[in-house]
Structure 1
Amino acid sequence: MHDKTGEMLGTLIEEFLTARATRKPSPHTLAAYRRDLVAVARLVAEDRALPLDAVPVTALSPRVMRSAFASFATPRAAASVHRAWSTWNSFFTFLVAEGVVPGNPMPAVGRPRTPLPRPKPLRGEDTPEQLLAAVAREDGRQRDPWPERDVAVLALALCAGLRLSELLALRVSSLGGREGERRVEVAGKGGRPRVVPIEAGLDRAVRDYLDSRARRFGSRSVRPDSALLVDRRGEPLRRGGLQYLVESCYRRAGIGDRVPRGARLHALRHTFATRLAEDGAGAAEIMRLLGHASLASSQTYIEVTAGQQRAAVASNRTNRALAGLVVERSG
């Protein structure tokens, strides 16, 4: 076995990223790994007055990593530091498995506690239904309207809770099952596959879309191994195209003010999860359906729903009147 203990940090970072790429993470995720690894590695290199490619892996002691992360954390938010810590922890886990280093120093490096992000569903009780109804109507202002495709995209996020990367990874063959037992097979985050049941409404929306696609591009365009979601030229949708499509749907429906900032497409997934919680689903069910890595992420939807219910009860006029009521006793 080749001894890698004398290899340089820059080379090992590239090896790690190559190994990660086999898991098919999104380009955005892979780019974030690279940024976090290089940013901290440069701090180590600067401290030792060496170029990055000349830093030996043997230099990465717990003391050196603590110092580098202290410098890294100074101008950054806790969430960014936490993410970088996780990336470096994965990097050292890889190095230990490869026999490059004897142990992982990251447990000795402090990391900030970060609260789980709060869900950001679409605002308004009937907003999802208004969005779907508006998009289902052919808009004469569009150069090449394709309402069946647009409804299918929104429905897969709203009724199956799929992430952007999961939508892009879908194939025509991802949908299967007998009538009444239809399902979609999802290539989930972190290489975790899952199966999500789909009901009649979503199934019909996807079938209508595939029928319209066959009319546009011919039956060969819907081969089982084809990408499920395509653009108006019949090419597989890409990240930017999918984001633009969802944004245009919001504009056509006139609901842009009801979409939380920083959660444009993800607001549809959050709406799916929030409604599951409102209808009584438990954290374990939500975890399985959304493909969460931990139960804590799923629990946030239940906590938000409970908070909303308490706020609704508190706003009841009778409750407010009762709060100011003084019981008077005679004698």
Structure 2
Amino acid sequence: MPGSVPPKLPAVALPGWFADFLADRAIRKPSPHTSKAYRQDFEAIAVLMAGSTDAVAGLCIHELTKDRMRSAFAAYAETHSAASIRRCWSTWNTLCTFLFTAELLDANPMPLIGRPKVPKSLPKSYPASAVTDLVAAIDADHGSTRASDWSERDRAIVFTSLLAGLRADELLNANVGDIRRTNDGAILHVRGKGNKDRRLPIGPELLDVLDDYLRTRSNRFPQTRRRTSNTKAPSSFSPTAPLFVGADGDRITRGTLQYRILRAFKRAGINGERASGALVHGLRHTFATELANANVSVYTLMKLMGHESMVTSQRYVDGAGTETRSAAELNPLYGLLSDEKPPL
């Protein structure tokens, strides 16, 4: 009947060696969605190899040969998208690597199994050297007497993009009150695309950069400060005050935001390393790629990026070529903030 709930399919009995794999993965604390994906991807190929769902439990490790795996993946590819095939391939590659490491499988056959290429539209991230040069170009503005030069603000914008993955519109719409301190950093409330809010954990290093910027802002525009005994920089402003402002003290405009980043790219001599039109979005791509390289799960990456579908987030994992596990503070770009800060 229309609107009725489809019957729940019976669970497929698993062979013991796959149950051992799931137990090993469980130690790494994957998200429920990742664990579900492991099982779904396993069952999809295992059923094709075994011939039926009832025969999956009896599937033996020695049956995981190149020819049988290749035939199973060819059949799977007939009814699934390229993204699904790549994810399934990744699951089986992780599984076969586990079995090989445990000396239960003579060799991992997956490198010999074809898989769809990563789409050409895969977002381009910036290498660490380019990010370092970009930050250095911004810091070179410290002490400038030009009203338009504001290294602390530009630094805060760049690192908020790199370490929180905000879109340009999200940077423009952010308010001071969106930063909510915790015992070990802060939570940044982001009003995202399509009116979908998300909350991002940010480390104390990024919070320090934002505090430095807000202190200089208090000096530039003392009339915008609130009278308060609280020494924390965000508390000096109204919660509804814009987080990032221009040289006039008003909410920063899109043109100013893009120009300041473009200027930094040109001054750093790395303008040729960015895709055409990619400025803030290139920094956002770098945030996602670095987290994918740090083995953050697809589901967690989707939540941090504000994507509507895991398929979009999967592109970063495909580009990184790594297995997944969740954590938000693994972004190695935080290391750029461990160096001595420029004097105020």
* TM-score bucket of the superposed structures, by smaller chain: 0.5 to 0.7
Gaps of 5+ in 2: 1-118, 226-236, 323-344
Instruction: Mark the CA change 1:194 to 1:184 in structure 2 (over 3 Å): closer, same or farther.
Output: same
Partner Cα distance (1:116, 1:210) in 2: 40
The residue type paired with residue 136 of structure 2 is A
Say whether 1:136 aligns with 2:129: no
Q: What secondary structure sits across from 1:226 in the alignment?
A: coil
Partner Cα distance (1:199, 1:133) in 2: 21
Q: What secondary structure sits across from 1:196 in the alignment?
A: strand
Say whether 1:167 aligns with 2:182: no
Aligned-pair CA distance for 1:139: 5.7
Identity %: 36
Say which of 132, 150, 157 aligns to 2:161: 157
Say whether 1:199 aligns with 2:203: yes
Say which of 212, 226, 239 aligns to 1:224: 239
Aligned-pair CA distance for 1:204: 0.7
Aligned-pair CA distance for 1:120: 1.6
Say whether 1:271 aligns with 2:286: yes
Q: What secondary structure sits across from 1:244 in the alignment?
A: helix
Partner Cα distance (1:237, 1:252) in 2: 21
Aligned-pair CA distance for 1:141: 7.2
Is the contact between residue 173 and residue 224 of structure 1 (CA under 8 Å) also seen in structure 2? yes
Question: Once the two structures are superposed, what CA deviation does each residue of 1:164-183 show, in whole Å capped at 9, x if it has no partner?
Answer: 01001100001012230411
Instruction: Mark the CA change 1:184 to 1:116 in structure 2 (over 3 Å): closer, same or farther.
Output: farther
Q: Please show how residues 279-294 of structure 1 align to structure 2 within 5 Å.
A: 279-294=294-309
Say which of 183, 186, 189 aligns to 2:187: 183
Aligned-pair CA distance for 1:138: 2.4
Is the contact between residue 131 and residue 253 of structure 1 (CA under 8 Å) also seen in structure 2? yes
The residue type paired with residue 320 of structure 2 is T
The residue type paired with residue 138 of structure 2 is V
Q: TM-score, normalised by structure 2?
A: 0.53
Aligned-pair CA distance for 1:305: 1.1
Instruction: Mark the CA change 1:125 to 1:174 in structure 2 (over 3 Å): closer, same or farther.
Output: same
Instruction: Mark the CA change 1:288 to 1:297 in structure 2 (over 3 Å): closer, same or farther.
Output: same
Partner Cα distance (2:181, 2:261) in 1: 28
Say which of 276, 295, 312 aligns to 1:297: 312
More contact order relative to length (CA 8 Å, sep ≥ 6): 2
Higher helix share: 1
Q: Please show how residues 232-243 of structure 1 align to structure 2 within 5 Å.
A: 232-243=247-258
Partner Cα distance (1:143, 1:177) in 2: 33
Q: Please show how residues 1-80 of structure 1 align to structure 2 within 5 Å.
A: none
The RMSD of aligned alpha carbons is: 1.9
Answer with 125-134 or 240-249: which moved more: 125-134
Aligned-pair CA distance for 1:230: 0.4
The residue type paired with residue 315 of structure 2 is T
Q: What secondary structure sits across from 2:321 in the alignment?
A: helix
Is the contact between residue 116 and residue 297 of structure 1 (CA under 8 Å) also seen in structure 2? no
Question: Once the two structures are superposed, what CA deviation does each residue of 1:259-280 show, in whole Å capped at 9, x if it has no partner?
Answer: 1223222000000000000111
**Residue of structure 1 in register with 2:73 after alignment:** none
Is the contact between residue 121 and residue 260 of structure 1 (CA under 8 Å) also seen in structure 2? no
Answer with 208-217 or 174-183: which moved more: 174-183
Is the contact between residue 196 and residue 289 of structure 1 (CA under 8 Å) also seen in structure 2? yes
Aligned-pair CA distance for 1:243: 1.1
How many residues get paired? 192
Q: What secondary structure sits across from 2:199 in the alignment?
A: strand
